[in-house]
Structures are given as structure tokens and as C-alpha cells.
Chain A
């Protein structure tokens, strides 16, 4: 895939092996059927355990039989998965960054022992419930709440747009603890087979179709006191997970764009009109030059982000900038690549339009493009436009 300034030539051996493993796996096991899954609105569930066996979930975490690879290796993995389909990367992001990460960072030893090995090996599936029907960009206004009850809590409320909720074994549900004076947001591990939990599937999506999305309805659901993530209170809990996931998205967007670019380049050098390959015309060359430049910029940002994260200097605002920039770049690239494929470009035989539709979700979830603009605006001016 496009690596115009040779960033990957400087990778360490371990990172290169990880990239190659991910690339081979995707090529052999996922790519051949992904367009059909997308058309059918199904996820290739057989790869859930395979990806677990390969260590694709939360590979940058330590202990619990997790690989503990570098942040760059983790980023490259996300890049390779999303080069196939954003739905595949979403599976790994949700399981690793949104479910395993909070358990790893904020969970009790018992919670970690119980869940991390199972989730890491893909023997259990997790989901992350933050968004609600009436609260998307502003989750701190959430209505889902917990009330102390005997030896635990009772949860009520509803979450929506939750990736994997219909197939999840456990949900990390963020809810306000009304029995606490400060009414803080707390994280609860809710097994989805509990009485009072329903996880309806959302049908008819026109984006991220090869990914299962649903709701989580909580109707007097009893959880034990042991099911609360003990070591976090407030919005820092969900937001810190999102920083992990967005880091992966900044890398993943590069992968999706690289795949669009490669497809367009190959097509432009093959397809002939007016007696020559369409890639021989200046208008098409400009598109290719622009795409390659923007992908390279985004790739540079992603690599820099990994270095900052590795040495502990990464701020959430850095991640906002990269998520915002790289996803916008992928959105533009997918559109341009689609356009270069002419009529063939609107079919499922070529990846760009599938990526293009997927990116609409990626542009929206994990903080919309607008919201990241406001985060950067606040960081630059010191004035919050959204409070």
C-alpha cells in the first residue's frame, strides 16, 4: 500500500512482522467475502475468535496473556484492518479500546481475571454503551442511571447505536449513580443475558453495514456492587476509552484511504479511454497526486501520534486533531477514488464506495468531526464553545 515517504521502511522488525501478519490474515480470510457481508449487512462472525487467537484485541495492553506490543504496531494493525473494512476495525476497536481498556485501567482484579482473557481471545464479545437516543455528542447529559439496591444497583435507561450489542456477552454501560451525592458517571459491567436487558438490532444502515449495531435497553436490571468499575468516577472514564479508540481510528482511516488509492491507481493504469489509460490524463493524475499527498500527511500524523503515545506525551487534543484530519482525508479520498472508477465504482466489486459509505459512520462516531473541531478550538483559545 502507498507509503510514499517510506515511513514503514523505518519500522522495527516486530512492527513489520505484525503489519505483515495482519495484512496476510485480512487478505486471505476477510477480504474475499467482505463485500458480500457488507451487502448482506452481516459481520463475518467466524473471525471474532480468529482475531482473538492472533492477539488483535487490545494488543497494546500488558498482562492477562495480552501481547503488549508498541503503540505503532497497534496503529499499524488498525490500519491494515480498516484497509479491508471499517467494520472489521470497529470490531477490534470496540473489543480492545472500549471494553478491554476500561476493564484493564479501571477494573478490579476479579473483573480483570474474569473478563480480559476471554475478551482477549475473542471467546466473549463486549460492547460499549455510552450514546443514548437523546444524548449523542453530549453524553454527559445522559439519562441512564443506577440506584443503590441491597447488595448492588438497579440500572434503568436506554443506549443506542451500540456496536456489537446484539452479539455481546457483556456491555460496559456508563450510567449516573443517583445514590451518590455528586451523581457521577460510573461504569458497570452488565452481562447481556441478565433479566431486564434487551439488545435490539438496528437494521437498514447504509453505512458500516458489515458491522452489527444495536440498542441496549435496561429495565430494572440488577447488578452486583462488584460489577462497578471501581477505579473511575465521572466522564473521564468513557472519555479516556475514546482517546484509545480514536487513536486507532486515526490509523485506520489511513488504511481505508490507502486501499481506495491503490484501487484507483490500478484502475487508472488499466482502463483505457480515448486510446490511452485514463491515468495518462492530467485531470486524473491530479486526483492521484492529491490523494497520495493527503494520505501521506495523514500517515505522518498517525506515526507522530504513536511516538507521543509511546513516550507518554500524547494529549487527547492531539488525538482529536488526528481523528478529525485523517477521517476527513479518508472521506475525500474515498469519494475521489470512487469517481475515478466511473460506473464500475458504484458496484460492490470495488472497495471505494463501500469505504465511502463506511466513513460516514467513522466521521460521526467517537466524536463527530464538528465536536473535534470544538475540542481543538477550546484547546487553542481556552474558550469552550460547547459548554
Chain B
């Protein structure tokens, strides 16, 4: 069985930063593994530890710098990795969901995984759509916002629990091959051990260009355009209640009632 885990290096913004045109100035960005993907890696590695003959392949779309992030996935137990990048991707202002879907779909075609695990969303651009869009493109079954997973490898079924709005949870059986978008909290991601980090240096990160994937440069073209980037006005509207607990509780109740809560 082969599990493909998509991972992304996300940008985190420092507390103080400056906006440069339609982007945040590089000087204020730090890069890290996307939080959701950390859970997806852990889920993949746990599958490989509990089942026989499971290969966990990690894939990322990103420049050379992102090798450090994907190396973290290898250090945590992924067997090998694929990194997709190309000059024409470098030049694109933004890779939208469609572009990523097409890139990842080409990788899925190449790798033929039984299961694709992605994070629910990326911490930076937060489209929250890539996993499901990929499933649609490659014709896999899918389940989004998965917070529990039981795999029946022989039966080819993933029994998942999905987190819906308003605290509702849904139990679903999904036939493989499938794409699952993994929610934080599904497991407790491990720390990479020093042994794992060492071993990861010897694991393969295969670079792939658009040519290698049989795609042309227009894959990066997007109907979306970032037109502006600005800091929203921050408004703070704090009410301070004073008095005994009895009095302040009453005041709070009033505010909640006025706000439409608990009628």
C-alpha cells in the first residue's frame, strides 16, 4: 500500500511587519511546516507502523528552501519525498487551488497511491480546498476534516469521523483510493528524533519539473489575482463590568441577551 502525504511550507508573519505591494515583505516571514500537514504525516507514519508493506511518500510544491520542511516529514518517518518546482512556478505571483490541484494530480498519476492525506488547510493562504479539489480531479473518493481514521487495508475501506459545523460529527466509510483532509487533533504528532533527522539525510527527495510531470507552463496561470494587501483596522470594544459577582453576572447576561445570545 502506498500513502501519499501532501505537505506545504507555510509562511508565518512576525508580530511587526511591512507590506510590500500585494505581499508581505520577505524580511518578516519565517517558514515552517504547515500545522495540519504535521498531523497528516503522523497519520501516514502511524499507518506504516501498524500495517505491513506501507510506503509513505511525501510531496510538496515549493522552491529549494522547502526541502528543509519536507526533510522534517522524512525525519518523522516518511520513506521518500517528491518536490515539484519549476522556473515558471517561481515566476507565478500565486499558485491557486487549480494550479496545485493539477500539479498534485500529475504526481498522483505518477505515484498511484492508495491513499492521499492532506491537511485541511494551509496556515498562510488558507484556501482550504486543495485536498478535495485533488480528489475531484483524479476521481478518488474523498472525506474532508477527518479527525479519526480506521483503515481496513484488505477491504479497501477507510472508516472516518468527520468534524462538521456546530460540533456535529459524521461517521463515513470511504472506499479507497481516496483523499482525506486531516484535521488537527486526530493524533499527537511526534517530534523528529535525532536518529530520524540523521536517517532523513539519506532519504531521497526527488525534484520534479513540469516537464517531468508532462505539464506545460500554463498550469501556473490563474484566474485569481491578488489586488490588494492591507492590515484591517483593528477595533476593540471592551466593556468592563464593575461590582459584586452578582451584579456583574447580571450585567453580562444583559449584554448577551441584547446581542441575541440565549433568548
Q: State A56–B75 Cα separation when bound (angstroms).
A: 15
Complex contacts, A56 vs chain B, CB 8 Å: 194
B193, A54: Cβ atoms closer than 8 Å: yes
Residue A18 is within 8 A (CB to CB) of chain B in the complex: yes
Q: For chain A, which range describes its interface: under 10, 10 to 19, 20 to 34, or 35 or more residues?
A: 20 to 34
Contact of B197 with A17 in the complex, beta carbons under 8 Å: yes
Q: Are A16 and B194 in contact (CB under 8 A)?
A: no
Contact in complex: B67, A54 (CB < 8 Å): no
Q: Could you tell me the distance in whole angstroms from the C-beta of A64 to the nearest C-beta in chain B? A: 11
The answer to whether A17 and B193 touch across the interface, beta carbons within 8 angstroms, is: no
* Interface contact B195-A14, CB-CB below 8 Å: no
Given A67-B197, A67-B198, A68-B198, A17-B71 contact (CB < 8 Å): yes
Within 62-76 of A, Cβ neighbours of B (below 8 Å) are at: 65-69, 73
Assembled-state Cα–Cα distance A65/B68 (Å): 24
Give, as a whole number of angstroms, the nearest-CB distance from A224 to chain B: 32
- How would residues 169 to 206 of chain B score, 1 for a CB under 8 Å from any chain A CB and 0 otherwise? 00000000000000000000001111111101100000
> How many A-B residue contacts, CB cutoff 8 Å?
46
Contact across chains for B195 and A21 when beta carbons are under 8 A apart? no
Task: For the complex formed, measure the closest distance between the CB of B86 and the CB atoms of chain A, giving whole angstroms.
Answer: 22
Task: Verify if A53 is at the interface (C-beta below 8 Å from B).
Answer: yes
Determine the distance from Cα of A33 to Cα of B191 in the docked complex, in whole angstroms.
Answer: 19
- Whether the pair B194, A65 counts as a contact (CB closer than 8 A) is no
Question: Contacts of A53 on B, CB cut-off 8 Å?
Answer: 193
Q: How far is the CA of A69 from the CA of B195 in the complex (A)?
A: 8
Across the two chains, which residue of chain B brings its CB closest to A13?
B68
Interface presence of B81 (CB below 8 A): no
Check A365 for interface membership: any CB of B closer than 8 A.
no
Question: Are B191 and A55 in contact (CB-based, < 8 A)?
Answer: no
**Are A18 and B197 in contact (CB-based, < 8 A)?**
yes
Chain A residues contacting B67 (CB-CB under 8 Å) are 13
- How many chain B residues sit at the interface, stated as a range, is 10 to 19
Contact in complex: A69, B193 (CB < 8 Å) = no
Given known A-B contacts A14-B201, A17-B197, A24 and B191 have beta carbons under 8 A apart: yes
Q: Is B72 an interface residue (CB 8 A)?
A: yes
> What A residues does B193 contact at CB under 8 A?
21, 53-55, 67
Do the beta carbons of B195 and A65 come within 8 Å of each other? yes
> Interface SS of chain A: helix, strand, loop or mixed?
helix
Complex CA gap A210/B213 in Å reads 55
Distance in angstroms between the alpha carbons of A21 and B196 in the assembled complex: 11
What is the 8 Å Cβ interface bit string for chain A, positions 13-44, against chain B (1 contact, 0 not)?
11011100100110000000000000000000
In angstroms, Cα B193 to Cα A73, docked, is 13
| Given A13-B71, A17-B72: A69 touches B191 (CB 8 Å cut-off) | no
Residue A59 is within 8 A (CB to CB) of chain B in the complex: yes
Note all chain B residues with C-beta closer than 8 A to A18: 194, 197
Bound CA–CA A56/B72 (angstroms): 17
- In the complex, the answer to whether A59 meets B194 with C-beta atoms within 8 Å is yes
- Residue interface bits A239-273, CB-to-B below 8 A is 1, else 0: 00000000000000000000000000000000000
Partner of B194, one of A13, A24, A55: A55
The answer to whether A25 touches B191, judged by C-beta atoms less than 8 angstroms apart, is yes
Using CB atoms, name the residue of chain B closest to A73: B194
Q: Is the CB of A21 within 8 A of B198?
A: no
* Pairwise interchain contact B68-A54, C-beta atoms closer than 8 A: no
Chain A residues in 8 Å Cβ range of B201: 14
Nearest-Cβ distance from residue B45 to partner chain A, whole angstroms: 14
Contacts of B198 in A (CB 8 A): 14, 67-69
Residues of B within 8 A of A16 (CB): 68
Cβ-closest chain B residue relative to A77: B194
In the complex, chain B residues 193-245 whose Cβ is within 8 Å of any chain A Cβ: 193-198, 200-201
Q: Nearest Cβ in chain A — how far from B152, in angstroms?
A: 30
Instruction: List residues of chain A with CB within 8 A of the CB of B68.
Output: 13, 16-17
* Cβ–Cβ < 8 Å partners of A73 in chain B: 194
Closest to B68 in A: A13
Chain B residues within an 8 Å CB radius of A68: 198
Central interface residue in B72, B75, B191, B194, by most chain A CB within 10 Å: B194
Which residues on A sit within 8 Å (CB–CB) of B197? 14, 17-18, 21, 67, 69
Whether A54 and B194, one on each chain, are in contact in the complex, defined by CB atoms closer than 8 angstroms, is yes
Contacts of A17 in B (CB 8 A): 68, 71-72, 75, 192, 197, 200
- Please, which residues of chain A bring their CB within 8 A of the CB of B75? 17
| Cross-chain contact A67 with B191 (CB below 8 angstroms) | no
Contact with B along A48-62 (1 / 0, CB 8 A): 000001111001000
* Cα of A73 to Cα of B197 in the assembled complex, Å: 11
* A54-B197 Cα distance, complex, nearest whole Å: 10
| A92–chain B nearest beta-carbon distance, Å | 11
A193 to B72, CA, bound (A): 41
Shortest Cβ distance from residue A122 to the other chain B in the assembled complex, whole angstroms: 12
Please name all residues of chain A whose beta carbon is closer than 8 Å to the beta carbon of B191 when the two chains form the complex.
21, 24-25, 54
Bound Cα distance A16, B75 (Å): 13
Report the minimum CB–CB distance from A275 to chain B (whole Å).
Answer: 22
Measured CB to CB, the closest approach of chain B to A357, in angstroms, equals 29
Cα distance, A361 to B47, chains bound together (Å): 46
Q: How far is the CA of A24 from the CA of B190 in the complex (A)?
A: 11
Q: Inside 8 A of B196's CB, which chain A residues have their CB?
A: 55
Extra pairs beyond A17-B75, A21-B197 (15, CB < 8 Å): A13-B67, A14-B198, A16-B68, A17-B71, A18-B194, A21-B193, A21-B194, A53-B193, A59-B194, A65-B195, A67-B197, A67-B198, A69-B194, A69-B198, A77-B194
Sorted from nearest, which 4 A-B pairs have the closest CB atoms? A55-B194, A67-B194, A54-B193, A55-B195
Write 14 A-B pairs (CB below 8 A) sorted by A numbering.
A18-B197, A21-B191, A21-B192, A21-B193, A21-B197, A25-B191, A54-B193, A54-B194, A55-B193, A55-B195, A66-B195, A67-B194, A67-B197, A69-B198
Residues of B whose CB lies within 8 Å of any CB of A are 67-68, 71-72, 75, 191-198, 200-201
